[in-house]
Chain A
Amino acid sequence: AQKVTQAQTEISVVEKEDVTLDCVYETRDTTYYLFWYKQPPSGELVFLIRRNSFDEQNEISGRYSWNFQKSTSSFNFTITASQVVDSAVYFCALSGDLTGGGNKLTFGTGTQLKVEL
Chain B
Amino acid sequence: GAGVSQSPSNKVTEKGKDVELRCDPISGHTALYWYRQSLGQGLEFLIYFQGNSAPDKSGLPSDRFSAERTGGSVSTLTIQRTQQEDSAVYLCASSLMAYTGELFFGEGSRLTVL
Are B107 and A98 in contact (CB-based, < 8 A)?
Answer: no
A31-55 interface (Cβ within 8 A of B): 33, 35, 37, 42-47, 50
**Which of B42, B59, B100, B108 makes the CB contact (< 8 A) with A109?**
B42
Question: Does chain B have a CB within 8 A of A99?
Answer: yes
Contacts A43-B89, A91-B43, A102-B55; A50 near B108 (Cβ below 8 A):
no
Contacts of B40 in A (CB 8 A): 109
B30 to chain A, nearest CB (A): 11
Are A103 and B103 in contact (CB-based, < 8 A)?
Answer: yes
Please encode chain B, from 49 to 75, with 1 for each CB lying within 8 Å of some chain A CB and 0 for all others: 010000110010000000000000000
Are A104 and B45 in contact (CB-based, < 8 A)?
Answer: yes
Question: Does chain B have a CB within 8 A of A69?
Answer: no
Please encode chain A, from 92 to 107, with 1 for each CB lying within 8 Å of some chain B CB and 0 for all others: 0101001101111111
Residue tally, chain B, CB below 8 Å to A? 30
**Which of B93, B98, B104, B108 makes the CB contact (< 8 A) with A98?**
B98
Contacts A42-B107, A109-B40; A102 near B48 (Cβ below 8 A):
yes
Contacts of B59 in A (CB 8 A): 104
Are B98 and A44 in contact (CB-based, < 8 A)?
Answer: no
Are A95 and B101 in contact (CB-based, < 8 A)?
Answer: yes
Q: Which residues of B contact A (CB under 8 A)?
A: 3, 31, 33, 35, 40-45, 48, 50, 55-56, 59, 89, 91, 93, 95, 98-108
